Structure 1
Amino acid sequence: MANTQDNVARLWALCHALRDDGITYHQYVTELTYLLFLKMAAETGAADVQGGDGSSGPNIPSGCRWSDLISQPPAERLDFYRAMLFRLGSKGSPRVRDIFRNAQTSISRSSNLSLVVDAINTIDWYSSGREGLGDAYEGILDKHASEKKSGAGQYFTPRPLIDCMVALIQPQVGEIIQDPAAGTGGFLVAADRYVKNLAGRAAALTRSQQAFQATKAFQGMELVPDTHRLGLMNLLLHGIESDRYCRGDALSPDIAQLDVPDVILTNPPFGAKKGGGNPTRTDLRFKTANKQLSFLQHVYRALPVGGRAAVVVSDNVLFEDGAGREVRSELMSLCRLHTILKLPTGIFYAQGVKTNVLFLNRDSETNTEHVWIYDMRANSAPIRKRRPLAREDFISFELAFGTDPHGRSPRTDQGESGRFRCFTRDEILARGDDLSIAWLRDDTAASDSASDPGELCAEIIAKLRAALDEMEELSDILDFPPGSDPLSQASNK
């Protein structure tokens, strides 16, 4: 692990060196995606595998491989690299074209490209096996997301939270695990790691099981092209060559590209649907521009009997009226919403919102009768850059949750002074299906004012952006033309 951390630190340091060339954090991670893919193919021998249909390997065209790039004189390397990216996006196998589609370099100096290429070439990636490269890439994505100025936190869920959700849901060999808002693929990678450890590594599986796990078991959809590229790379570097990791909008008919899931693990995007408008799927009963409410409808409708899910949602999903109340009511009628985890503040820093995890399963006999709520937020130190989220933070919750992934383990209501409590469906119904239930007095709010000024500024900006998203949704509801001024329109009536 220490070697992986060293490699991540070494590569991330180059990002700061390249900022004088105008390279942003996101552009740098994209450049690493291109280069690390070529390096991976060279190290594993996959570049030389033939078969243009992509069924036998990456099949990187001759003249576009890692050895071709590093053999170029440093002064000519950038021009060669630009031409190589174009060829890879049009001449490689389908999987290679997915990685390099519309690829362009943001590096403007050949010396800077050589700086990155030489660093990658001299690192011992495989001292701990192939996973060393995948873990290093995941570490770079983590660094990217934790940088306040990068804005990448919107699609990166912290690894400790992912590992907690996966451990409680317990994906199994042969199950289809889906993330309809896959981002960089963190949930799918963690689920694959969990299943492999459960099976005693991939070698313990039969050949057909290994093929299913590598190509069919882990399925996802991501709307943003660059983010899809990062996710595809992340999966490939962890040995997942899924043909169901698709680029598309899960709130549109694109979702038909994915198979019926046994497990859903996801952190849907916050805010309103960009550009206005509601999802175009006809199977979602309640039309709303609130993306999380729409994704939540997908989750509980997509699960078959016996299926289970863990979903990250913001606080407003628990209390929002109108479509929010209708979605919660339908959720509890169709599924067993058995557990809610109230997360500490600051986990999704870029959004500046409070979040929760909903645990639910589809049962053929019963729907929601009781909801257990674990308050991990009250009187807990907020998550900051100087106090990052750790796996150990979830130990008490996992013990209270129990070992049954369907939430049927024996549990104890800890009362008004404890963190874990049970509420009946009748009690929730009396609240108008409002699930934002709090019982502990939170004395941490006053201490938040002593936060780092830079973090406070970023949080204020995030809240302003969230407010603008809400205004966009309100504008859609009132049907004001884009760019118009609702206040002036009202004054003229």
Structure 2
Amino acid sequence: MTRTRTPKPKAEQSTAQRLSSVIKSVRDIMRKDKGLNGDADRLPMLTWLMFLKFLDDLEQNHEAEAEFEGRPYRPVLEGMYRWRGWAKSDVTGDDLLAFINNEKYEVEPGESIPGLLAYLRNLQGEGNRDRRTVVAEIFRGVQNRMINGYLLKEVVQKLDSLDFTSSEESHTLGALYEGMLKEMRDAAGDAGEFYTPRAVVRFMVKALDPKLGEVVLDPASGTGGFLVEAFEHLKEQAKTTEELEILQNRSVIGGEAKPLPYLLAQMNLTLHGMESPQIDSGNSLRHNLSEIGDRDRVDVILANPPFGGEEERGIQNNFPADKRTSETALLFMQLIMRKLRRQTHNQQGGRAGVVVPNGFLFSEGVGARIKQELLEEFNLHTIVRLPNGVFAPYTSIPTNILFFQRGEPTREVWYYEHPLPAGKKNYSKTQPIQFDEFAPLLDWWTNREENERAWRVDVSAIAGNNFNLDIKNPNAAQDFEHMPPQTLLADIMHKERRILELLEELQAELGQKADMHA
């Protein structure tokens, strides 16, 4: 008698597995479209489509609430411009491409309406916080790069299965999205310019410890890493309805002038639960420094300003005459200093954590004058010296994190040299820095003592050396493993000569004693 085996029931997929499968399917479909060239094209495309699906799901929630409360509700997008209006329709192929891409879309002979992207770019809201204004800003630089309308329809149908009304799904999609952002950065070299390793971001947020009710700013937001981490940090403190309202109302704000990272940051914050991300789409350096007043200042600034960039003359003119420069990083440092809240009799001044290249520490001229102001009007209490390769493969430039607070002048600067893990000579794309490596530094942060990694320098010594902050660790044991060959050879020869000198001295001394006993 033949025994038939009962097939095992398939294990039910977790939310993460299902969503990961959906996103993978979408990306596989996109790979077939000849208009998309790599992840640098696919991810922005996926982002704005996901955003429209998210917006429609959010609108359904708001409509249900309004209906329950018996009040009218006007949706952000009207009619067929809503996701449910066009994504669920029978429109496909060239007709779908025409609806999305064209300035005018013919619905019937002689009757046309704005195309989807044209409609979205021209939305007008009442003020900067109005969601219509935000949507218009997001889509001002968006293009549809898919050229096959049937593949695009497949993508839309797959994305339609996402449910952004589920907090579990949104949280999982947030994690998946961050993974895709990293993939895009790894694939596109110039995209690395707005990338800060997650471990560094988390450490900086932990060290500055923003409190609910404070405003956190990143004036060079990139894809929103600092803002997302700060928002998550603040979210843990929000327990009541009132506190959640505080969280959503101007708790984290940013600035990003480039259309692609601006779009990605908007989606990044949205997926992490921020209903109306407040990111300025203009150049944060465009405002005259002298016109920044108390109402423009914030409690906490976290930033990794672009270094190596150059700003045109019109931007430079916004800064004091003796501190004008084309170097982007030096201009951002001045902006950050000016944007920190002033100290008052009952409130401490604003605080900042800023990533800077080594060149800033020993810069002269304008750089030295900026550092003089930093030391005289701010308390530059800590400089964390990061090891080589933290930003690999995007740049090999050694970097540091400056932590300072507005109000009291600097009396002494603590330095902490963050080490590479034992046995590791460098970080890489596949083996980046990990957050748990910062545990010793976070333990030291609130209980400071000098050790082989930490030392302090009196501000007078720094001022006396033209405000050079590039001070080597006086307590570190020599690292022969990482010493350049020429230096290592010279060190060995020096030691050998010294040993010979000591042997000769000993031989001479023994000879003298022998003569005395003869």
TM-score range, shorter chain: 0.7 to 0.9
For 1:341, which of 384, 388, 392 is the aligned residue?
Answer: 384
Post-superposition shift, 1:446? 7.2
1: CA distance between counterparts of 2:321 and 2:74? 38
1:378–1:443 contact (8 Å) kept in structure 2: no
Go from structure 1 to structure 2 and tell me whether the alpha carbon gap of 1:274 and 1:297 turns closer, same or farther (over 3 Å shift): closer
| Contact 2:235–2:247 (CA under 8 A) maintained in structure 1 | no
Give per-residue Cα distances to partners, 1:192-212, cap 9 Å, x unaligned. Answer: 110111x2xx4x1343x4333
CA distance in 2, matches of 1:399, 1:28: 42
CA distance in 1: counterparts of 2:273 and 2:63, whole angstroms:
16
- 2:142 counterpart SS class: coil
Give 1:66's aligned residue. 83
Give yes or no for the alignment of 1:133 onto 2:170: no
The CA deviation string for residues 168-199 of structure 1, in whole angstroms up to 9 with x for no partner, is 101011111111111222211111110111x2
1:281 aligns with 2:342: no
Does residue 410 of structure 2 align to residue 368 of structure 1?
yes
User: Please, which of 227, 235, 251 is the counterpart of residue 196 of structure 1?
Assistant: 235
Q: For 1:327, which of 332, 350, 370 is the aligned residue?
A: 370
Alpha-carbon distance, 1:227 to partner:
2.1
Q: Where does 1:54-453 land on structure 2 (aligned, <5 Å)? A: 59-67=76-84, 68-75=86-93, 76-82=95-101, 83-91=115-123, 93-122=132-161, 126=166, 128-147=168-187, 149-197=188-236, 199=237, 202=238, 204-207=239-242, 209-242=243-276, 244-253=278-287, 259-275=296-312, 279-282=316-319, 286-303=323-340, 304-305=342-343, 306=348, 307-348=350-391, 349-363=393-407, 366-377=408-419, 381-402=425-446, 410-414=447-451, 418-439=452-473, 440=476, 441-443=478-480, 445=482
Conserved? CA contact 1:164–1:394, under 8 Å? yes
Who is 1:454 aligned against?
none
Is the alpha carbon distance of 1:11 and 1:287 closer, same or farther for their aligned partners in structure 2, counting shifts above 3 Å? Answer: farther
Contact 2:385 2:417 in 1 (8 A): yes
Task: Describe the shift of the 1:447–1:194 C-alpha distance in structure 2 as closer, same or farther (beyond 3 A).
Answer: farther
State the alpha-carbon separation in 2 of the partners of residues 81 and 124 from structure 1: 23
SS at match of 1:184: coil
Distance in 1 separating the partners of 2:352 and 2:410: 14
Q: Residue 23 of structure 1 contacts residue 107 of structure 1 at CA under 8 Å; is this kept in 2?
A: no
Cα distance in 2 for residues equivalent to 1:447 and 1:58: 64
Distance 2:277 2:180 in 1: 24
Give the letter aligned to residue 367 of structure 1: P
Please give the alpha-carbon distance, in whole angstroms, between the structure 1 residues aligned to 2:207 and 2:61: 38
Give me the whole-angstrom Cα distance separating, in 1, the residues matched to 2:326 and 2:255: 19
Q: Deviations over 1:398-433 (max 9, x none)?
A: 11112xxxxxxx31100xxx1111111123234332
1:426 & 1:316 partners in 2: Cα distance?
A: 21
Give deviations 1:420-463, integer Å, cap 9, x for gaps: 11111123234332112223445565799xxxxxxxxxxxxxxx
Q: 1:170 and 1:120 mapped to 2: Cα distance?
A: 37
Q: Over alpha carbons, which structure has the higher Rg?
A: 2
The alpha-carbon deviation at position 284 of structure 1 amounts to 7.7
Aligned to 1:463: none
What is the rounded CA distance, in whole Å, between the counterparts of 1:259 and 1:222 in structure 2? 17
Which amino acid in the other structure matches residue 109 of structure 1? N
Instruction: Specify whether residues 234 and 248 from structure 1 end up closer, same or farther in structure 2 by C-alpha distance, changes over 3 A only.
Output: same
Counterpart amino acid of residue 121 in structure 2: G
C-alpha distance after superposition, 1:136-175 (max 9, x if no partner): 333322221232x342111122221111100110101111
Compute the displacement of 1:277 (Å): 6.4
Contact 2:311 2:327 in 1 (8 A): no
User: How far off is 1:355 after superposition?
Assistant: 1.0
Shift of 1:333: 0.7
CA distance, structure 1, for counterparts of residue 18 and residue 428 of structure 2? 23
> Structure 2: how far apart are the matches of 1:411 and 1:375?
13
Query: Partner letter of residue 60 of structure 1?
Result: L
| Contact 2:288 2:318 survives alignment (8 Å) | no
Compute the displacement of 1:259 (Å): 2.7
- 1:131 CA drift (Å): 2.6
Q: Aligned pair in 2 of structure 1 residues 429, 274: CA closer, same or farther (>3 Å)?
A: closer
Instruction: Give the whole-Å Cα distance in 2 for the aligned partners of 1:228 and 1:322.
Output: 33
Deviates further, 281-290 or 118-127: 118-127
Cα pair 1:252 1:281 within 8 Å, conserved:
yes
One-letter amino acid of the structure 1 residue matched with residue 89 of structure 2: S
The separation in 1 between residues aligned to 2:200 and 2:358, in whole angstroms, is 17
TM-score, with length taken from structure 1: 0.77
Match of 2:204, SS state, is: helix
Q: Which residue of 1 aligns with 2:491?
A: none
Distance in 1 (CA, whole Å) between partners of 2:29 and 2:241 is 42
Whether contact under 8 Å (1:47, 1:58) holds in the other structure is no
Letter in 2 for 1:72: D
Q: CA distance change for structure 1 residues 164 and 243 in 2, over 3 Å: closer, same or farther? A: closer
User: 1:106: how far off?
Assistant: 1.0
Question: CA RMSD for the aligned pairs?
Answer: 3.3
1:223 Cα deviation (Å)? 1.7
C-alpha deviation, 1:90, in angstroms: 2.0
State the match for 1:36 in structure 2. 50
How many residues were matched structurally? 427
For 1:117 and 1:336, the matched residues in 2 are separated by 52
Structure 2: 5+ residue stretches without partners: 1-14, 67-72, 102-114, 125-131, 486-518
Q: CA deviation at 1:345?
A: 2.3
Letter in 2 for 1:368: T
- Alpha-carbon separation, structure 2, partners of 1:425 and 1:302: 24
The letter for the 1-side match of 2:42 is Y
CA distance in 2 between counterparts of 1:360 and 1:77 reads: 53
CA contact under 8 A between 2:215 and 2:252: conserved in structure 1? yes
CA distance in structure 1 between the aligned counterparts of 2:417 and 2:385, rounded to whole angstroms: 5
CA contact (8 A) 1:26 1:150 kept: no
Distance (whole Å) between structure 1 residues aligned to residue 160 and residue 483 of structure 2: 50
